[in-house]
Amino acid sequence: MVKTVIDAAWQAKERAYAPYSHFMVGAAVLDADGRIFTGCNIENASYGLCNCAERTAIFKAVSEGCKELQLLVVCSDSERLTPPCGACRQVMAELAPMMKVILVNKTGQYLEMTVDELLPLAFSNDYLLKKRKEES
């Protein structure tokens, strides 16, 4: 199944809209039911409005009702592995803290890790809920 998710991420990369950076990224996320959701990076002339491949895939999955995301694959044509940005890491920590993440480069080199390894000591809703309880 991992190979299928990796292949889906490569296919998603081909749909990237990256006219400014020319850096095309694809992502695919696997849920507990075996469904795969893909995403690509989507740029905008107003740079703050861009969206990364990882968040695109995760948001698609969540918007379709997925509650348990198990695996995320991120790929690019770079010789180096492409790690998720900070915003994507925070979204992963919020929506899929137990998910495995695999980074793949154009030569097939890969690195597998956990969300916690990507973002140790992530800010979570625990901080907000504790604060509310303390105020009560």
58 SS3 class: helix
- The answer to whether residues 65 and 33 touch, using CB atoms and an 8 Å cutoff, is no
Chain CA centroid to CA 90, Å:
10
- Write out the catalytic residue numbers: 54
